[in-house]
Structure 1
Amino acid sequence: MKRVTGIGGIFFKSKDPKKITEWYQKHLGLNTNPYGAGFEWYEAPDSSKKAQTQWTPFPETTKYFEPSKQDFMINYRVENLEALVEELKKEGVTIVDNIETYDYGKFVHILDGEGNKVELWEAVD
């Protein structure tokens, strides 16, 4: 079973998410949107299958990264999230919440070996 297939997103805390997003747009040319910026790419071996990596600044007061104490969180793209969660449970990995489903995919949060919150995403591209 495949586990992680790519980086789904990079999220970090910012004093002013709107301002930092504008900075990245102006100075580094990111094609921004209300959620940050998306980077499209194509999955191998099927080079016709489009995918996306999300870049998003969060308010520095966000509780979204808790229980981790870090100022960032990485989102990993996965296949078959339900099966992966069952395997991770068997391996003793801490599952933070229940799988949630949205029109753009399924999500769940886990803690890595150092207590960093990690987001797992089965995307609907």
Structure 2
Amino acid sequence: MADKKVQTEKQVSKTDDTPKVTGVGGIFFYSDNPKETQKWYAQNLGIETNDWGSSSFDTRDIDNPDVVNSLQWKAFKKNDKHFSPSKKEFMINYQVQNIEGLIEKLKKNGVTVLDSIVTYDYGKFVHILDKDDNKIELWEPI
């Protein structure tokens, strides 16, 4: 009986479309010299970057092992406008589900939504500010 209950709970979680964060999709930060920073991370921590200056860390979805998730890591040139209007030195990308429902919920809660949802081949994106004016990127993979 207990096995049947666990299986039912897992089946429910796979069909869960609650608007929420499901993981971290990226870590982005400013650097005085991104190329040298990337070189340091490669030499000292083994983090290799690609042509776009980012590294991808792949993981598997615990409830669906065939699904591969990735976390992006990238250094941006200090004072780049990518994190604007935030004045912070970093930006986190959160992987989400039901991005439209989440944006609706955030607007109702008075959260600052900086732009409209944009769709690319690899997912939907939108940016918000948290209560400390940190720019947050929300990403729903395709």
Q: Which runs of 5+ in 2 are unaligned?
A: 1-17
Deviation string, structure 1 residues 9-49 (Cα, Å, up to 9, x no partner): 00000111112112111211113212310100011211221
Aligned to 2:39: 22
| Percent identity of paired positions between Structure 1 and Structure 2 | 50
1:109 is matched with which residue: 120, 123, 127? 127
Aligned to 2:66: 48
Contact 2:19-2:101 within 8 A present in 1 as well: no
Range 20-29 or range 104-113, more displaced: 20-29
Range 61-70 or range 51-60, more displaced: 61-70
With normalisation by structure 2, the TM-score equals 0.83
Aligned to 1:3: 20
Distance 2:108 2:90 in 1: 27
Bigger share in helix: 2
Hey, which bits of structure 1, 4+ residues long, moved more than 4 A? none
The offset of 1:117, in angstroms, is 0.7
Q: Does 1:86 align with 2:111?
A: no
With normalisation by structure 1, the TM-score equals 0.94
Equivalent position SS for 1:83: helix
Aligned to 1:73: 91
Residue identity matched to 2:34? P
The offset of 1:61, in angstroms, is 2.0
Distance 1:102 1:48 in 2: 22
Range 40-49 or range 4-13, more displaced: 40-49
1:95 is matched with which residue: 100, 113, 125? 113
- Rg larger in structure: 2
Distance 1:43 1:89 in 2: 29
2:76 is matched with which residue: 35, 46, 58? 58
